Chains A and B, each alone.
Chain A
């Protein structure tokens, strides 16, 4: 009974939550340092693509994971240059990152595989079994520890909350923000890798499908704190899970509920939760302000 519950509900929920958890933790680090991060979607997308391509070529998902992290890091570096070095508006720059990331995979897969969108499937034996879940657990524990109990966490929090105080304590605010942005690139890239090499076995066009934004919603719902953020991801993962299970199920009458209606669920719940449940979620005081 318990075993059945675990394999039917808990495990699938955790599985589909994995991409969200990685991206949301990245988003949390970035926003806590004072930089708005709506580019998670883009980082996930390039992460998913490069993980699939690398795994396809080398039949090694670990290399895919590294490729995803590096590609996310690279894209986040572009974001960092535009918002920290050139002080671009963070919403506009983040949107640009997302649009850019939307175009990269089709372009490269056209060049490499003569197909605009999907990559060739990765070999079955190269698909992840449970490593991403272990990695996820480690990421959560590390995030919690670093966030509240280390020098790095303390200083990064001050970069978003009171940069002047950090500066007068002799610490570079900009460097902390670079680190926050880099973490979001790496983690969201890994989140993307779990989409293409763990939850499925190839990259398909726009496969992140708004998960980057849902991850950001989880950060906000989690009040920019690691544990609540992860719980919010699990909530969204659960609704996604329910959505998958409800497809084709006859709830009432004779025919099943149209699949399109079911698929609305995760997004609808995100919207409702953000509107009604968040209440007084308080952003870092200097989020989005570059002085």
Chain B
């Protein structure tokens, strides 16, 4: 008997099917992956299960019995619990109070001692090793907070645990720990549903996988019998290549003296990620990759290059487009032909509560194409946004919606389209595919390569070594604030680069 079964479940909003005829089942005592791109209907399905949305057709069965959940409380009574992406924990309250909320033992006076005793037993049974019961939640690390969420579900006696993108917020060590804990829960008979869009994670840690696409169930596979390519194809609906296989134009050997951007002996002290005597050239028609474990100076370099005026104490030389740029402001660099795709699109790239047109204007507010005598001409701007939406297949394809309505991948496409709009000759691009769906990754890589093939210079920062090796002509590896080694395309080798990233020699 399945722990959970969806039988032809549908849910629509107006004429739009968020879930259409969804059928899959989850065996008890297993870890089941639920994957799909953003907007594929994963969370709608889970909300239907929780009774947050009433379903419009089909049946949900729990332990073989059909249920009609009308509220999360009912789902909870049926033994279903969920760890949300944004934790349901109040920071200033204690761990204990957060856990017992809604299920407080004791009459009149809270019986915290009894709850504590029970929790200690639970944490021992499942090997969760938790001790900070009386600490405030905001004093815990994110990984610990997640463990508190899991303990909360166990305290509520949930038999089916749903985890929504649990690794998105964790460090690699915390991820390992999480999956060890989940295996222990599984061994004790709990059923776990893992919502994710990270294929590797799903392949390593689940027993079976269900793939959703555009609200429909594409299929369920036993994890051991499938692979990354198959799952990706199921998710996107067409074969996906994880490596860029398009054209890479070969140019005559670049003349080193023609560098468009040159940094020499750049030293920046007194910041959290200092730089020490960094020097490199960026030449026309090349992608120069910047690799390194986060925190080794890449962030400072990117910030300095895009806004040198922020670093008064910087020492060394920075030339761009034939002029000294020490102390320049971003506008001057932009006028000289530089464009930026920032590290964090949410905090540095977009105004979430503004429409796409306003967002498209960001940074182009002095461009004579859009601005006359200090007045913004929206009628000139809108067709450009519409063109960007078409070229990059941004969805939903409306100019008048808030940027927050777009999924991460679509937000990133908008940021990249905006960076390319002014036809810059040099691009600083950071983490272009972070948090982006597999389908959109391809398109973004194509766009970057197209710019290179058109003769532009691109400095590409990424934490994905695969991405850097696919796209770059050369890779600089940063270690401890300095360029530790440079690799040319012939020399690319993940092990060699990884060794330098970790402080070793080339």
Determine the interface band of chain B, counting residues with CB < 8 A from chain A.
20 to 34
Which segment of B29-37, B94-102, B398-406 sits at the interface?
B94-102
Q: Cβ of A150 and Cβ of B109 under 8 Å apart?
A: yes
- Select one of A150, A154, A282 contacting B101, CB under 8 A: A154
Q: Distance (Å) between the CB of A153 and the closest chain B CB?
A: 8
B344 interface contact, C-beta 8 A: no
- B133 → chain A closest CB, angstroms: 15
Establish whether residues B89 and A165, one from each chain, have CB atoms under 8 Å apart when the complex forms.
yes
User: Once the chains bind, are A170 and B108 in contact (CB under 8 Å)?
Assistant: no
CB pair B93 A170 closer than 8 Å: no
Encoded as 1 (CB less than 8 Å from any A CB) or 0, chain B from 88 to 124 comes to 1111110001101111101011100000000000000
The yes or no answer to B72 lying at the interface (CB within 8 A) is yes
Task: Tell yes or no: B254 within 8 A of A by CB.
Answer: no
Residues of B within 8 A of A282 (CB): 92
CB-based contact B93/A161 at 8 Å: yes
Inter-subunit contact A168/B88 (CB<8 Å): yes
State the Cβ distance, A220 to closest chain B Cβ, in Å: 15
Q: How far is the CA of A150 from the CA of B101 in the complex (A)?
A: 11
Q: Which residues of A contact B109 (CB under 8 A)?
A: 145, 149-150
CB distance from A174 to the nearest CB of B (A): 14
Instruction: Tell me whether B90 and A149 are in contact (CB under 8 A).
Output: no
Q: Do most interface residues of chain B lie in helix, strand or loop, or is the interface mixed?
A: loop
Question: Known interface pairs A149-B109, A150-B110. Does A166 touch B102 (Cβ–Cβ under 8 Å)?
Answer: yes
Contacts of B97 in A (CB 8 A): 154
Distance to closest chain B CB from A163 (angstroms): 10
Binary per-residue interface labels of chain B (69-91) against chain A in the complex, 1 for a CB within 8 Å, 0 otherwise: 00111001000001010001111
Complex interface bits, B36-60 against A, C-beta within 8 A gives 1, otherwise 0: 0000000000000000000000000
A 134-170 binary contact with B (CB < 8 Å = 1; else 0): 0000000000010001110011011001101111111
A158 in contact with B90 (CB, 8 Å): yes
Residues of A within 8 A of B98 (CB): 165
Q: Contacts of A165 on B, CB cut-off 8 Å?
A: 88-90, 98, 101
Contact A170–B76 (Cβ < 8 Å): yes
Contact between chains at A162 and B73 (CB < 8 Å) = no
Contact (Cβ within 8 A) B88 A154: no
Is there contact, CB below 8 Å, between A162 and B102?
no
Flag if A151 contacts B71 (CB, 8 Å). Answer: no
**Which single residue of chain A is at the shortest CB-CB distance from B149?**
A165
- The reply to whether B72 and A170 form a contact with Cβ atoms under 8 Å apart is yes
Q: Does A171 touch B at the CB level, under 8 Å?
A: yes
Q: Judge if A110 is at the interface, Cβ distance under 8 Å.
A: no
Q: Are A169 and B101 closer than 8 Å at their CB atoms? A: yes
Q: In the complex, how many residues of chain A place their beta carbon closer than 8 angstroms to a beta carbon of chain B?
A: 20
A251-291 interface bits toward B, Cβ cutoff 8 Å, 1 = contact, 0 = none:
00000000000000000000000000000001001000000
Q: What is the CB-to-nearest-CB distance from B83 to chain A, in angstroms, rounded to a whole number?
A: 11
**A157 and B93: CB pair below 8 A?**
yes
Contacts A149-B109, A169-B101, A170-B73 given; does A164 touch B93 at CB 8 Å: no
Chain B nearest Cβ from A219, distance in angstroms: 16
CA distance A62 to B265 in the complex (A): 83
Nearest-neighbour CB distance to chain A for B153, whole angstroms, equals 11
CB contacts (< 8 Å) of B93 on chain A: these are: 157-158, 161
Closest to B102 in A: A169
Interface centre among B73, B82, B88 (most CB of A within 10 A): B88
Contact: B110 with A158, CB < 8 Å? Answer: no
Q: Is the CB of A151 within 8 A of B72?
A: no
Report A-chain residues with C-beta under 8 Å of the C-beta of B91: 161, 285
In the docked arrangement, what's the CA distance between A171 and B108, Å?
A: 17
A286 closest partner in B (C-beta): B90
- A168 partner, pick from B72, B106, B108, B110, beta carbons under 8 A: B72
Tell me whether A161 and B92 are in contact in the complex, defined as CB-CB below 8 angstroms, given that A151-B110, A166-B101, A170-B72 are known contacts: yes
Whether A170 lies near B102 (C-beta < 8 A) is yes
A80 to chain B, nearest CB (A): 23
Select from chain A the residue with minimum beta-carbon distance to B104: A151
Contacts of A171 in B (CB 8 A): 101-102
Q: Tell me the smallest distance from the CB of A159 to a CB of chain B, in Å.
A: 10
The docked-state distance in angstroms from the alpha carbon of A285 to that of B92 is 9
Most A Cβ at <10 Å: residue of B71, B90, B92, B93 = B90
User: Chain B contacts of A158 at CB under 8 A?
Assistant: 90, 93, 101
Please measure, in the bound complex, the distance between the C-alpha atom of A161 and the C-alpha atom of B102, giving whole angstroms.
15
Q: Which residue of the partner chain B has the closest CB to A151?
A: B104
Determine the distance from Cα of A166 to Cα of B98 in the docked complex, in whole angstroms: 9
Provide the bound-state CA to CA distance between A171 and B88, in Å. 13
CB distance from A152 to the nearest CB of B (A): 10
A162 contacts B90, C-beta separation under 8 Å? yes
Q: Do A161 and B90 touch (CB < 8 A)?
A: yes
**What's the nearest-Cβ distance from chain A to residue B52, in Å?**
10
Docked complex Cα distance between A166 and B101 (Å):
7
A169 touches B90 (CB 8 A): no
- List B contacts of A169 (CB < 8 A): 101-103
Q: A176 to nearest B CB, angstroms?
A: 12
Report the minimal beta-carbon distance from B222 to chain A, rounded to whole angstroms: 32
What separation, in Å, do the CA atoms of A166 and B72 have in the docked complex?
11
Tell me which residues across on chain B come within 8 A of A164, comparing CB atoms. Answer: 88
Q: Are A162 and B103 in contact (CB under 8 A)?
A: no
- The docked-state distance in angstroms from the alpha carbon of A166 to that of B102 is 7
A148 to B, closest residue via Cβ: B110
Is A162 touching B108 in the complex (CB atoms < 8 A)? no
User: How far does the Cβ of B136 sit from chain A's closest Cβ, in whole Å?
Assistant: 11
Cα separation A168 to B164 with both chains bound (whole Å): 15
Residues on A with C-beta less than 8 A from B103 are 169
Q: Nearest-CB distance from B116 to chain A (Å)?
A: 14
Complex: how many Å from CA A249 to CA B211?
Answer: 84
Q: Which of A171-228 contact B (CB under 8 A)?
A: 171
Is the pair B72, A167 in contact by a Cβ cutoff of 8 Å?
Answer: yes
CB distance from B125 to the nearest CB of A (A): 22
Closest to B100 in A: A154
CA distance A285 to B93 in the complex (A): 12
Would you give 17 A-B contacts (Cβ < 8 Å), ordered by A?
Answer: A149-B110, A151-B106, A154-B97, A154-B104, A155-B101, A157-B90, A157-B93, A162-B89, A162-B90, A166-B102, A168-B72, A168-B84, A169-B102, A169-B103, A170-B72, A170-B73, A282-B92
A151-B104, A285-B90 known, 19 other contacts, Cβ within 8 Å: A145-B109, A149-B109, A149-B110, A150-B109, A154-B100, A154-B101, A154-B104, A155-B101, A157-B90, A161-B91, A162-B88, A164-B88, A165-B90, A166-B101, A167-B72, A168-B82, A168-B88, A169-B101, A169-B103
Q: Which residues of B contact A (CB under 8 A)?
A: 71-73, 76, 82, 84, 88-93, 97-98, 100-104, 106, 108-110
Q: Which are the 8 A-B pairs with shortest beta-carbon distances?
A: A169-B102, A170-B73, A165-B88, A162-B90, A161-B90, A151-B104, A169-B101, A149-B109
